[in-house]
């Protein structure tokens, strides 16, 4: 089957080619994002494969359908960038990678937490300049601290298990309680408990209309002063302007993010020779207690292998009119 792959990178192409080593599919790579300006590139392709910052709204899906596309394959778990109702109206199937390596994302969240808390980024820059002063690098023991896990799916449970290994007290928040989370001997937060007790808040939930800006000025006001916030899920979970205000007052003691709500204009591109005109982002990275990585939490060998294999398995199933195990449907 002819597959147009948007937002493709050199490292992804190696894994996709390996997953397609039998040559079942005809893969064509485009390094540009999918949107109304680029959708014409997909004409004649029965399947289109996209990533987190590709736009698959109603106009784009309609244009894809007119060009012959009948399958939209997301090589990611989240699908907030897809208009599922429009896809259903066009009878266009949408598939995703339900799970790849929850360990990769959870471990990256821990890496961000450790780096923010122990000022690893600042120490790295100092020692490269032969500055071995320790002033301003004091952190705190994770042992005995309270960690709030917002979203207790597979990734949240792995993160919780790691935090238990550090000797932390872990509480969860999720409208859909997880038996796996409870099997770890953990409980869900009571009203107000996160704000009162959490020293660390880590986000592991999908972006939906109800979770958009779940971290906002009001929730930050109720947070424990000096708490650290970690987000490796979706940028839209966090009201960045509110976070900046909380960082300025010290209400928020640190921030580690792998996602950003306006990241589609920045991430996955080399902008080192350009001036970034996003003033909010520039303000954010000016804080010494903030670490930003460019949506790399998933970037491990194991995760990439699973993502690419699962994506092409879905394409094969669609081509053979077999049930789509990873189909995303409205509702």
Distance set, CA 90 to CA 31, 51, 85, 330 (Å): 26, 21, 9, 13
Of residues 214, 211, 245, 230, the one with CA closest to residue 293: 230
| Residue 234 is among the residues annotated as catalytic for this protein | yes
Q: Rounded CA gap, 81 and 323, in Å? A: 24
Q: Specify whether 263 is catalytic.
A: yes
- Residues with Cβ < 8 Å from 184, sequence gap 6 or more? 157, 160, 161, 164, 170
Q: How far apart are CA 298 and CA 100, in angstroms?
A: 9
Q: Which of 295, 301, 313, 319 is catalytic?
A: 295
- Identified catalytic residue from 25, 108, 234, 264: 234
Can you say whether residue 134 is alpha, beta or left, with left for phi > 0 and alpha for psi between -120 and 50 degrees? alpha
- Residues ≥6 apart with Cβ < 8 Å to 27: 3, 5, 16, 17, 20
State the catalytic residue, choosing from 12, 107, 261, 263.
Answer: 263
Name the phi and psi angles at 273, rounded to 5: -105, 10
Confirm if 228 and 254 have CB atoms less than 8 A apart: yes
Per the annotation, the verdict on 176 as an active-site residue is no
Q: How far apart are the first and last CA of the chain?
A: 29
Task: Report, as residue numbers or ranges, the catalytic residues.
Answer: 234, 263, 295
């Amino acid at each position: 089957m002819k597959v147009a792959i948007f937002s493709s990178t050199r490292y992804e192409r190696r894994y996709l080619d390996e997953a397609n080593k039998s040559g079942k599919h005809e893969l064509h790579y485009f390094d540009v994002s999918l949107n109304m300006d680029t959708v014409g590139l997909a004409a004649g392709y029965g399947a289109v494969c996209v990533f987190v910052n590709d736009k698959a709204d109603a106009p784009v899906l309609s244009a894809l359908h007119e060009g012959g596309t009948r399958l939209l394959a997301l090589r990611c778990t989240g699908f907030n960038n897809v208009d599922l109702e429009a896809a259903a109206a066009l009878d266009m199937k949408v598939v995703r990678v339900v799970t790849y390596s929850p360990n990769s994302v959870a471990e990256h969240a821990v890496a961000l937490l450790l780096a923010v808390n122990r000022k690893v980024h600042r120490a790295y820059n100092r020692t490269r300049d032969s500055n071995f002063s320790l002033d301003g690098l004091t952190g705190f023991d994770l042992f005995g601290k309270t960690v709030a896990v917002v979203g207790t799916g597979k990734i949240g449970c792995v993160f919780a298990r790691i935090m238990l290994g550090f000797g932390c007290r872990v509480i969860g928040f999720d409208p859909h309680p997880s038996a796996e989370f409870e099997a770890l001997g953990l409980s869900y937060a009571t009203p107000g408990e996160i704000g009162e007790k959490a020293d660390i808040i880590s986000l592991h939930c999908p972006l939906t209309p109800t979770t958009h800006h779940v971290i906002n000025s009001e929730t930050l006001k109720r947070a424990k002063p000096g708490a650290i916030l970690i987000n490796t899920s979706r940028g839209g979970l966090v009201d960045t302007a509110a976070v900046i205000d909380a960082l300025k007052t010290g209400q928020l003691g640190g921030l580690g993010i792998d996602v950003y709500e306006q990241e589609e204009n920045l991430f996955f591109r080399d902008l080192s020779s350009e001036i970034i005109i996003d003033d909010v982002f520039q303000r954010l990275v000016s804080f010494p207690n903030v670490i930003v990585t460019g949506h790399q939490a998933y970037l491990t060998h194991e995760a990439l292998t699973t993502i690419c294999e699962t994506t092409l398995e879905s394409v094969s199933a669609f081509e053979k009119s077999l049930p789509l195990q990873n189909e995303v449907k409205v509702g």
